[in-house]
């Protein structure tokens, strides 16, 4: 005889408060008032272009922070 599979899985959950940080790189680029200018320029690039690169860095940073905080036991950020 085999034992029936248990419906309860051990303690992994994706319900961390740190996951809310992932909204920043999604919401901030949706605000055109931030980048609807030509100045200031950075290395000759208008604001729109270098700000797009900054949004990428923001996304990578937020993802790294959420990953690091989620991998520290996963229970601290609740």
Q: pLDDT tens, position by position, for the chain (78 residues)? A: 566 666 665 666 677 888 898 999 999 989 988 888 888 888 888 888 899 999 999 999 999 999 998 887 555 545
**Residue 20 domain flag:** no
User: In this structure, is residue 62 part of a structural domain?
Assistant: yes
DSSP string, 24-76: HHHHGGG-GGGT----S-BTTB-HHHHHHHHHHHHHHHHHHHHHHHHHTTS-T
User: What is the tally of structural domains in the chain?
Assistant: 1
Q: Which domain holds residue 67?
A: 42-72
Q: Is 53 within the bounds of a domain? A: yes
Q: Is residue 63 part of a domain?
A: yes
CA gap 21, 60 in Å, rounded: 11
d(CA 73, CA 71): 5
* pTM, to two decimals: 0.66
CA distances from 22 to 27, 35, 52 (A): 9, 20, 17
């Amino acid at each position: 005889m085999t034992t029936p599979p248990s419906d309860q899985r051990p303690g992994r959950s994706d319900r961390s408060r740190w996951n809310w940080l992932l909204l920043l790189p999604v919401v901030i680029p949706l605000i055109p008032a931030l980048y609807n200018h030509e100045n200031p320029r950075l290395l000759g690039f208008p604001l729109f272009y270098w700000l797009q690169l900054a949004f990428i860095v923001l996304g990578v940073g937020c993802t790294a922070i959420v990953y690091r905080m989620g991998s520290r036991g996963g229970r601290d950020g609740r």
